């Protein structure tokens, strides 16, 4: 297509979003508006969606610079609950560190850490009822850990070994746990959003009391499924909480490619007539309070809520990613909202309910716990050393009765396996 210039009109120019900092750059976050903690109003859970519009541009915060909880969003949790929240976040981080190391040692093919984002999964899990259905993305391992799901089972799934309940059919870290009301993680972006809405609608149709909550990263808000889910949820007043974890980066693409240069992600709720909250994602108390508010709202038939968790991805997108290739190494250390684990630790210390010595002892205990669980899981096998589910199981669990053509394929595959590798039994291990 040939271009043309008309009279004295300025030529058109295409805008391509560009992050403020690239590898090697000094980092200055002075452009971010971080409001003081406790300054944000807390409307009634059954308010109109329009009454939350200002909170879509603000930042709900509870923990101040003095590590004290302040303001109307303070959930006023007791010290024991705070310690449990701290321990769960610390356990999630210890688990991440051990699994990252396992991937580097060749024990699994893939892993994704949630370092710096632990509050966006652990705090919501504690604010929800234990049987509320969650539809996570792939960085919400803290939910399973919060709900007491065995770490050994999580490691079995990551290693795709013979004890993996999913039989090696899912990419590592894409868990599924019906007993924990934890829906199967999908590698396809944003599919969990309409699924969560459908489940929530079904719960409402049945007159149940359970609600749904779902998570995506900010980059996935550019997917069509995000908008379809928002429309259905608003039209049918579905009892669902939409969590957008804005960690600034979607793999190597910064949040501007999903629209962050124009407005907040919480503001997308306004166009749908939905309640919206923008929350300090590194403040565990603020995240807990926002989730509890949205859960109470959904349970009282007041409608869905979109929560943007403003946080930062401290590590790479996955073990296949090198963030040093596209962002400044100084971003993590300069992030103005700090680290969620350290902030909650300092809050407990300020209350006189914790100490540096207790924290160090807890970290050692959790490291030993994860190490022991890892060794137990490794008895069931690691990547590529032959301890896996029987070969014939690859044809199972889709149809109640295996169709004739799959039965033929199964028989042929098993026959070829016996011919090519006679030293290996059908069960997948040496006789």
Is 247 part of a structural domain of the chain?
yes
Which residue, among 408, 352, 399, 396, has the nearest Cα to 168 in the 3D structure?
396
What was the pLDDT predicted at 3?
65
Is 239 part of a structural domain of the chain?
yes
Same-domain status, 279 and 410: no
Same-domain status, 266 and 406: no
Torsions phi, psi for 407 (to 5 deg): -65, -40
What was the pLDDT predicted at 417?
84
Q: How large is the angle between the packed helices 79-104 and 356-378, nearest 10 degrees?
A: 50
Q: pLDDT tens, 199-210?
A: 999 999 999 999
Alpha-carbon 266 to chain mean position: 17
What was the pLDDT predicted at 265?
98
What was the pLDDT predicted at 423?
73
Is 42 part of a structural domain of the chain?
no
| Cα atoms found within 13 Å of the Cα of residue 247, Cβ hemisphere only | 28
Q: Are 110 and 138 in contact (CB under 8 A)?
A: no
The alpha carbons of the chain give a radius of gyration, in whole angstroms, of 24
Structurally, how many domains does the chain consist of?
Answer: 2
Strand partners of residue 340: none
What was the pLDDT predicted at 393?
84
SS3 of 47-101: CCHHHHHHHHCCCECCECCCCCECCCCCCCCCHHHHHHHHHHHHHHHHHHHHHHH
Is 352 part of a structural domain of the chain?
yes
Same-domain status, 347 and 401: no
Q: Which residues of 54-80 are buried (b: 16+ CB within 10 A; e: fewer)?
A: ebbebbbbbbbeebebbbebbbebeee
Is 141 part of a structural domain of the chain?
yes
Is 367 part of a structural domain of the chain?
yes
What was the pLDDT predicted at 117?
98
Same-domain status, 285 and 315: yes
Same-domain status, 371 and 401: no
Residue 426: both structure tokens together:
């059908």
Same-domain status, 325 and 402: no
Is 33 part of a structural domain of the chain?
no
What was the pLDDT predicted at 430?
40
Which domain range does residue 410 map to?
391-420
Is 226 part of a structural domain of the chain?
yes
Same-domain status, 352 and 408: no
Same-domain status, 404 and 317: no
Helix and strand counts by DSSP (H, E) for the chain: 12, 7
Q: pLDDT tens, 372-424?
A: 999 999 999 998 776 778 777 888 888 999 999 999 999 998 889 889 888 76
Same-domain status, 405 and 292: no
What was the pLDDT predicted at 385?
74
Same-domain status, 270 and 355: yes
- CATH number, domain containing residue 115: 3.40.50.970
Same-domain status, 307 and 412: no
What was the pLDDT predicted at 362?
98
Q: How far apart are CA 234 and CA 213, in angstroms?
A: 15
Same-domain status, 412 and 282: no
What was the pLDDT predicted at 12?
93
- Give the residues of the chain that fall short of pLDDT 70: 1-3, 5, 386, 424-431
What was the pLDDT predicted at 386?
65
């Amino acid at each position: 297509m040939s271009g043309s210039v008309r009279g004295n009109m300025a030529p058109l120019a295409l805008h391509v979003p560009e992050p403020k900092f690239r590898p090697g750059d000094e980092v200055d976050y002075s452009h971010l508006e971080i409001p003081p903690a406790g300054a944000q109003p807390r409307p009634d859970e059954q308010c109109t969606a329009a009454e939350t519009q200002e909170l879509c541009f603000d930042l709900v915060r509870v923990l101040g610079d003095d590590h004290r909880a302040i303001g109307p969003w303070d959930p006023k949790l007791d010290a024991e609950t705070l310690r449990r929240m701290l321990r769960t976040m610390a356990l999630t981080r210890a688990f991440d560190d051990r699994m990252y190391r396992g991937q580097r040692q060749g024990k699994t093919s893939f892993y994704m850490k949630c370092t710096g984002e632990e509050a966006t999964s652990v705090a919501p899990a504690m604010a929800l009822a234990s049987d509320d259905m969650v539809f996570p993305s792939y960085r919400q391992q803290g939910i399973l850990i919060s709900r007491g799901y065995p770490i050994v089972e999580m490691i079995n799934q990551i290693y795709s070994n013979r004890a993996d309940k999913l039989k090696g059919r899912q990419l590592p870290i894409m868990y599924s746990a019906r007993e924990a009301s934890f829906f199967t993680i999908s590698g396809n972006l944003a599919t969990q959003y309409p699924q969560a809405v459908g489940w929530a609608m079904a719960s409402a149709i049945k007159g149940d009391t359970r609600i749904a909550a779902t998570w995506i990263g900010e980059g996935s808000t550019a997917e069509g499924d995000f908008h379809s889910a928002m429309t259905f949820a608003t039209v049918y007043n579905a009892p669902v909480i939409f969590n957008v974890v804005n960690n600034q980066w979607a793999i190597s693409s910064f949040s501007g490619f999903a629209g962050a240069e124009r407005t907040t992600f919480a503001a997308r709720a306004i166009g749908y007539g939905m309640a919206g909250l923008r929350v300090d994602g590194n403040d565990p108390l603020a995240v807990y309070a926002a989730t509890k508010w949205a859960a109470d709202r959904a349970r009282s038939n007041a409608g869905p809520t979109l929560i943007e968790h403003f946080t930062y991805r401290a590590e790479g997108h996955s073990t296949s990613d090198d963030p040093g290739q596209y962002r400044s190494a100084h971003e993590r250390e300069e992030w103005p909202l700090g680290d969620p684990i350290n902030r909650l630790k300092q809050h407990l210390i300020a209350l006189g309910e914790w100490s540096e010595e207790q924290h160090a002892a807890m970290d050692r205990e959790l490291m030993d716990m994860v190490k022991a669980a890892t060794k137990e899981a490794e008895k069931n096998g690691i990547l590529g050393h032959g301890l896996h589910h029987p070969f014939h199981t690859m044809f199972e669990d889709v149809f109640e009765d295996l169709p004739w053509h799959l039965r033929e394929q199964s028989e042929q595959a098993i026959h070829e396996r016996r011919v090519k590798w006679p030293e290996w039994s059908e069960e997948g291990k040496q006789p």
